Amino acid sequence: MHFFPEQASTFASHVDALYLFLIAVTAFFSLLIGVLVVVFAIRYRRKSPDEVALEVHESGLLEIVWTVIPFGLTMVMFFWGASVFFRITRPPSNAIDIYVTAKQWMWKLQHTDGRREMNELHVPIGQPVRLTMASEDVIHSFYVPAFRFKRDVVPGRFSVAWFQATKPGKYHLFCAEYCGTRHSGMIGWIYVMTPADYQAWLAGGTPGETLASAGAKRFVENACNTCHGEQKGARGPSLNGLFGRAVRLQNGQTILADEAYVRESIVNPQAKLVEGYPPIMPTFQGLISEEGLLQLTAYIKSLSPAPAAPGAASSAASAATPVPERKSTRP
Amino acid sequence: MTNSNAPPARHPGANYLNSSYGVRSWLLTSDHKRIAIMYLIGVTVFFAIGGLAAALIRLELLTPAGDVFQAETYNKIFTTHGIMMVFFFMIPGIPAVLGNFLVPLMIGAKDLAFPRINLLSWYLYIVGGLIALWAVVHGGLDTGWTFYTPYSTVYSNGWVVVTAVGIFIAGFSSILTGLNFLVTIHTMRAPGMGWTRMPLFCWGMYAASIIQILGTPVVAITILLVGAERLFHLGIFDPAQGGDPVLFQHLFWFYSHPAVYIMILPAMAVISELVTAFSRKPIFGYKFIAGSSIAIAVLSFLVWGHHMFVSGQSVYAGLVFSVLSFLVAIPSAIKVFNWTTTLYKGSVSYQTPLLYALGFIGLFTFGGLTGLFLACLGLDIHVHDTYFIVAHFHYIMVGGTIMAYLGGLHYWWPKISGKMYPEYWSRVSAWVIFIGFNLTFFPQFIVGYLGMPRRYHAYPEEFQVLNVMSTAGASILGIGYLIPLVYFIWSMRYGQDAVDNPWGATGLEWETPSPPPTENFPETPAVTGKAYDYLTGREEAAVG
Amino acid sequence: MADATHAAAPGAPPELRHHFVDMEAQKEASALGMWIFLVTEVLFFGGMFTAYVIYRASYTRAFEGASNLLDLRLGAFNTVVLIVSSLTMALAVWAGQQGRKSLIVLFLLLTILLGSTFLGVKVIEYRQKFVHHEVPGPHFVVPLDEETHQPLPRQSEMFFSLYFCMTGLHALHMIIGIGLLLWLVARARRGEFTPRYNTPVDMVGLYWHFVDIVWIFLFPLLYLLGRHAL
């Protein structure tokens, strides 16, 4: 009988260690109370119908002790849990990007070279992988128990999270947020491969059109290029080199141009107006699909020299706070 | 209190049950005791419906394939289970049945502050329940009891609006009950019953009522907006129109987390009474138990975000909700320690109510500790939306609240009905329930950590053994619940007549006849002693 | 009603319910009950206010633009109407404490009249929105900004969704309030309110003032914030 899924990611063992600690505390206190209750009930059982109990006074000291000790223990749990959480939510900067579209009831995964997978994902060990996820319809959740990885995919925003696989094998992918009729059918597999096997797999298939080039087409289709051109006096800011750079807003704040910023600027352009430009960009809310938004984001990313932007793997809808430097410190 | 050598007193005299006959005299009553009985019937019916749904769920989950029901049907079944149990059994449960019956008696009042509003709240409960049932019968709802958007507002094909209306109406029932208790406890305590002489049961009802008043309106407006969005295509929570599904979650959980404390605070209130009565000594740490009830009520409003650690709130919000969720566990721990210490040097009698109370203490302690796993950020990511969560809340709600409800029902049954239940069968069923419960839900912790998500109609084969164990346990648990149903009904006709105070317990309710007359007390009693005054010049008590 | 089985204590006033010790206790309980009910109403409206504030922060331009399309004169007129109705309600409560039947009825009727005026104005406003296709749903047409005459951002529909929900819920409370006032008029005409017993007038007064206060918050939030210069 297994009690733990396999540990196949860099954070699995940390999560399990925390789990074991909590099991120990739970077992200790459950047994303590259970034994005390049984012992007292037996030792002090009523021996005659008219028996009266002995008076036991209140004890302020006892109350304090059994308040302070649980408090201390819970704070240990909190800090330990928070530290594991920070590890989970901060992707390293050299992560490769995978774009995920969730829709009832399937997972569509795309590598940056355009290779598409349906309900399956091949990744190499030892390489951080950042998932940028969007939903076409309702809330889903990308869950890989062996990685101890889970992140809700909420429509209307990008959800970004990361993992690094450590053990070759085949691991369950589940949708973990109820999403309708075939929720329990929205499952798949993550294939973790050695670097050599992964290269072989890459070489074997045909990459499709990359997300970036699909995005380039949409950029023109939606006439984005008519304002965001390179000519002097263009109505909108240039997007070359934008991604990953600090942007100064009209209200004086400076923010980082990451996936969240790009997506928000397409669907709600008035939220963050760039300094020096009139607020005339129309909103594309509801006019471009989630997949389209992913493609446009990939395209805009491709216009910047540095491929990966450091980004906290929190949800992209709570937009970036003012940052004094390049590091994203999203709240 | 009668001498133990006297024959059991019989009360052929007028009591609230025989004061008037006919359906009209019940349906138009303003007597809190009759209303409590009507609620008892109502919650039992809805519990049966929710329990039937649970049986169907466990039946399907015997095998990995979804071979008993179609997927959509299964989704409707678990939604029905959740809605029936949460809104029509757990939330009204102890407050509407035991609270309604006992609060006026315990404080020496003739009724609640607003008896006709009490009756109205029963009608609202029944109407809301019937509307929700109508939806179930006419095709059902498949959103889960949590109604997450945009699935519920845009994509679901079920009776969203009808069910939302049913829940909305039942919510008003809950608000009015809470309002009634708050005003009653504030203004109608007998002379001499200061706050620190009030039974802890009333403190628990008071704290739960605070939550009912403050939390329920928020879910009411939220569910109204969901209905409006669905009917009029409004887009408040629909991302395609600029709405935010996570805003729905915030508004929903702002109530639904405190709601679970509406379910547990009355249960804890019952346990305080049972532990002290069956130890026959004052409860240890009265002020701390009372104070911790209020602390739980306050803190419960500050932790809702722990349901949303993976849905996209910021890291810092996660930290805040995590630390507060740990803090809210502390007052519950204080209660458990105080109850345990009450047994120390007590005179412990093993009647059925105490068996339920001890079962509660064990199961609630364990289940509450598993809540710490969920408050822990690093761990919740993995177990969120898995069977670990399902196991946790069933330990508290079933291992906790339902055990306390049954314990209270057994304890006060002589007072409510004037009859005793059969002690042998009541102990048997207590054990059957305890064993069945653990077998049902403990395996779910394991299968949850292994990765089995919730609300899954079909699952990978490697999870089957644990699911079979769980279903076996559920069968036993179901039998365990049927036995009291049978003997309680049996006792009303064939049970031994009860004396005024079969347990030798303190409390104003035990100074009335079993069952009490309609007006409870011929004159308002004057209170001179502390609560749980077991040790000051007592006469012998009648033996239970 | 089962109340008939409870014999009134000798010398007890007829309005004293059997489970209360005296009129003082009954009045205290009624007042506490009404205040607690009003707290629930605060939380009830509060959910929508929260949603409005959050969306306004996210879609400021859309909301500002849409807000400017509301008729400020009608909104301001309604605000005055409601404030005056609170005055007439307070006078009705005062008259109730005096037990002056004709004055009670007069002030209640005035309050009803003012409340109905408010509702009439709201009907006019809602009709205007219907005509201008500002009602959210399949017939919604993105309105033009008042000043620039360019279409507002699409999220302006969200403003109108919340506008209708919030003012609609408020109007529903006004209708219920008017119903309560009519009930009071009927009771007052039967001479039921005396200096000894006028609690119902008092309690409905509390409710009416609360509904007024909700509007005092709604009006600036919906009509005034970000209003272009007049």
Token code pair at residue C20: 């209360």
Q: How do residues B439-498 score in pLDDT, each as one tens digit?
A: 999 999 999 999 999 999 999 999 999 999 999 999 999 999 999 999 999 999 999 999
CA dihedral for B378, B380, B384, B387, sign (positive or negative): positive
User: Looking at the complex, does the CB of residue C24 fall below 8 Å from at least one CB of chain B?
Assistant: no
3-state per-residue secondary structure call for chain A: CCCCCCCCECCHHHHHHHHHHHHHHHHHHHHHHHHHHHHHHHHCECCCCCCCCCCCCCCHHHHHHHHHHHHHHHHHHHHHHHHHHHHHHCCCCCCEEEEEEEECCEEEEEECCCCEEECEEEEECCCEEEEEEEECCCCEEEEEHHHCEEEEECCCCCEEEEEEECCCEEEEEEECCCCCCCHHHCCEEEEEECHHHHHHHHHHCCCCCCHHHHHHHHHHHCCHHHCCCCCCCCCCCCCCCCCCCEEEECCCCEEECCHHHHHHHHHCCCCCCECCCCCCCCCCCCCCCHHHHHHHHHHHHHCCCCCCCCCCCCCCCCCCCCCCCCCCCCC
CB-based contact A282 C60, cutoff 8 Å: no
Whole-number pLDDT of residue C9 = 63
Contacts of A20 in chain B (CB under 8 A): none
The whole-angstrom separation of Cα B87 and Cα B141 is: 15
Candidates B38, B187, B252: best to mutate against C (most CBs of C within 10 A) is B187
CA distance A38 to chain B (A): 8
> Do the Cβ atoms of A75 and B382 come closer than 8 Å?
no
Whole-number pLDDT of residue B4 = 46
Confidence of residue B536 (pLDDT cuts 50, 70, 90): low
CB-based contact B378 A143, cutoff 8 Å: no
| Kind and range of the H or E run holding C72 | helix C72-98
End-to-end CA distance of chain B: 13
Candidates B78, B288, B315, B349: best to mutate against A (most CBs of A within 10 A) is B315
Candidates B149, B179, B213: best to mutate against C (most CBs of C within 10 A) is B179
Candidates C20, C40, C156: best to mutate against B (most CBs of B within 10 A) is C40
Token code pair at residue B79: 């939604």
**Phi then psi dihedrals of residue A153, to 5 deg:** -105, 105
| Closest to B504 in 3D by CA, of B360, B346, B359 | B346
Give me the numbers of helices (H) and strands (E) for chain B, helices first please: 17, 0
Determine what percent of chain B is predicted with pLDDT higher than 70: 96
> Do the Cβ atoms of A45 and B350 come closer than 8 Å?
yes
Q: Provide block-wise average pLDDT over 10 residues at a time, chain C (230 residues).
A: 51 84 92 97 96 94 92 96 97 94 96 97 96 90 87 90 96 97 96 92 97 97 86
Does residue A306 have a pLDDT over 60?
no
Chain C: residue nearest A319 by CA? C58
User: Looking at the complex, does the CB of residue C18 fall below 8 Å from at least one CB of chain B?
Assistant: yes
| Closest to C77 in 3D by CA, of C133, C119, C132 | C119
CB-based contact A44 B316, cutoff 8 Å: no
* CB neighbours of residue A23 within 10 Å: 16
> Do the Cβ atoms of B407 and B353 come closer than 8 Å?
yes
User: Looking at the complex, does the CB of residue C31 fall below 8 Å from at least one CB of chain B?
Assistant: no
Fold of A211-302: Cytochrome Bc1 Complex; Chain D, domain 2 (1.10.760)
Q: Is residue B527 assigned to a domain? A: no
The whole-angstrom separation of Cα A100 and Cα A297 is: 13
CA distance C137 to chain B (A): 5
| Closest to B378 in 3D by CA, of B317, B304, B309 | B309
Candidates B382, B466, B467, B501: best to mutate against A (most CBs of A within 10 A) is B382
Burial class (CB in 10 A: 0-12, 13-18, 19+), B291: middle
CB pairs under 8 A between A and B: 303
Ordered by start, the domain boundaries in chain A are 1-207, 211-302
The arithmetic mean of pLDDT across residues B193-208, rounded, is 96
Contacts of B242 in chain C (CB under 8 A): 55, 59, 154-155, 157-158
The arithmetic mean of pLDDT across residues B199-208, rounded, is 97
Is the peptide bond prior to B150 cis by the omega test (within 30 degrees of 0)?
A: yes
Closest by Cβ to A270, choosing from C62, C150, C151: C62
Contacts of C169 in chain B (CB under 8 A): 221, 224
Closest by Cβ to A145, choosing from B241, B329, B451: B451
Domain range spanning residue C133? Answer: 41-224
Confidence of residue B13 (pLDDT cuts 50, 70, 90): confident
* CB neighbours of residue B368 within 10 Å: 23
* CB neighbours of residue C176 within 10 Å: 12
Query: What is the average pLDDT value for chain B, to the nearest integer?
Result: 93
**Phi then psi dihedrals of residue B94, to 5 deg:** -65, -45
Token code pair at residue B517: 């007359």
Q: In residues, how long is chain C?
A: 230
Confidence of residue A319 (pLDDT cuts 50, 70, 90): very low
The whole-angstrom separation of Cα A122 and Cα A145 is: 16
Chain A: residue nearest C61 by CA? A270
Chain A: residue nearest B288 by CA? A63
Q: Which residues contact A142 (CB under 8 A, 6 or more apart)?
A: A100, A102, A107, A131, A133, A149, A150, A151, A153, A161, A173, A175, A176
**pTM listed for this prediction:** 0.91
For A164, C32, C143, C223, the CA distances from C219, given in Å and listed in that order, are 53, 28, 21, 5
Whole-number pLDDT of residue A209 = 81
Whole-number pLDDT of residue A236 = 87
Contacting partners of chain C (3+ CB pairs under 8 A): A, B
CATH of domain A1-207: 2.60.40.420
CB-based contact B379 A18, cutoff 8 Å: yes
> Do the Cβ atoms of A137 and B155 come closer than 8 Å?
yes
Contacts of B251 in chain C (CB under 8 A): 47, 50-51
Whole-number pLDDT of residue C26 = 94
Candidates A235, A249, A280, A285: best to mutate against C (most CBs of C within 10 A) is A285
Please report the beta strands in chain C, taking only residues with DSSP state E, as ranges in sequence order.
Answer: none
ipTM of this complex prediction, to 2 decimal places: 0.92
Residues β-bridged to residue A117: A109
Does residue A312 have a pLDDT over 50?
no
Token code pair at residue B386: 């898995």
> Do the Cβ atoms of B221 and C162 come closer than 8 Å?
no
Whole-number pLDDT of residue B10 = 52
Residue C11's identity, in one-letter code, is G
User: Looking at the complex, does the CB of residue A250 fall below 8 Å from at least one CB of chain C?
Assistant: no
* CB neighbours of residue C38 within 10 Å: 15
Neighbour-count burial for B27-61, b at 16+ CB within 10 Å, e otherwise: eebbbbbbbbbbbbebbebbbebbbebbbbbbebb
Closest by Cβ to A268, choosing from C58, C150, C151: C58
User: Looking at the complex, does the CB of residue C7 fall below 8 Å from at least one CB of chain B?
Assistant: no
Q: Is residue C190 assigned to a domain? A: yes
CB-based contact B540 A152, cutoff 8 Å: no
Query: Residues 106 to 165 of C: which have CB under 8 A from any B CB?
Result: 136-138, 154-155, 157-158, 161-162, 165
Closest by Cβ to B378, choosing from A14, A53, A180: A14
The arithmetic mean of pLDDT across residues B307-327, rounded, is 95
CB-based contact B385 A44, cutoff 8 Å: no
Residues β-bridged to residue A134: A101
Judged by DSSP in three states, B419 sits in strand
Does residue A316 have a pLDDT over 70?
no
Q: Is residue B526 assigned to a domain? A: no
Q: Minimum mean pLDDT among A141-155, B349-363, C130-144: which range?
A: C130-144
> Do the Cβ atoms of A35 and B385 come closer than 8 Å?
no
> Do the Cβ atoms of A120 and A188 come closer than 8 Å?
yes
Confidence of residue B533 (pLDDT cuts 50, 70, 90): confident
HSE-up of A170 (CA within 13 Å, CB side)? 5
A300 Ramachandran zone, left/alpha/beta (phi>0; psi -120 to 50): alpha
Rg (CA), chain B: 23
Domain range spanning residue B465? Answer: 34-511
Residue C42's identity, in one-letter code, is V
The arithmetic mean of pLDDT across residues B511-521, rounded, is 93
The whole-angstrom separation of Cα B259 and Cα B271 is: 19
Burial class (CB in 10 A: 0-12, 13-18, 19+), A327: exposed
Whole-number pLDDT of residue C3 = 43
Cα three-residue angle B166-B168-B169, rounded to 5 degrees: 70
CA distance B164 to chain C (A): 16
**Domain total of chain C:** 1
Confidence of residue A324 (pLDDT cuts 50, 70, 90): very low
Domain at C48, CATH number: 1.20.120.80
Confidence of residue B542 (pLDDT cuts 50, 70, 90): very low
Residue owning tokens 């209640």:
C108
User: Looking at the complex, does the CB of residue A149 fall below 8 Å from at least one CB of chain B?
Assistant: yes
User: Looking at the complex, does the CB of residue A76 fall below 8 Å from at least one CB of chain C?
Assistant: no
Q: Minimum mean pLDDT among A1-10, A20-29, B483-492, C101-110: which range?
A: A1-10
| Closest to B43 in 3D by CA, of B93, B101, B3, B8 | B93
Describe the strand order of the beta sheet including A120-124 as a list of residue ranges.
Answer: A120-124, A188-193, A169-175, A140-144, A149-153
The whole-angstrom separation of Cα A32 and Cα B191 is: 42
User: Looking at the complex, does the CB of residue A60 fall below 8 Å from at least one CB of chain C?
Assistant: no
Contacting partners of chain A (3+ CB pairs under 8 A): B, C
Contacts of A279 in chain C (CB under 8 A): 61
Domain at B154, CATH number: 1.20.210.10
DSSP state for residue B517 in the 8-state scheme: P
The arithmetic mean of pLDDT across residues B178-201, rounded, is 95
Q: How do residues A227-275 score in pLDDT, each as one tens digit?
A: 888 777 788 888 888 888 899 988 888 998 988 899 999 988 888 888 8
**Phi then psi dihedrals of residue B251, to 5 deg:** -65, -40
**Domain total of chain B:** 1
Contacting partners of chain B (3+ CB pairs under 8 A): A, C
Does residue B11 have a pLDDT over 80?
no
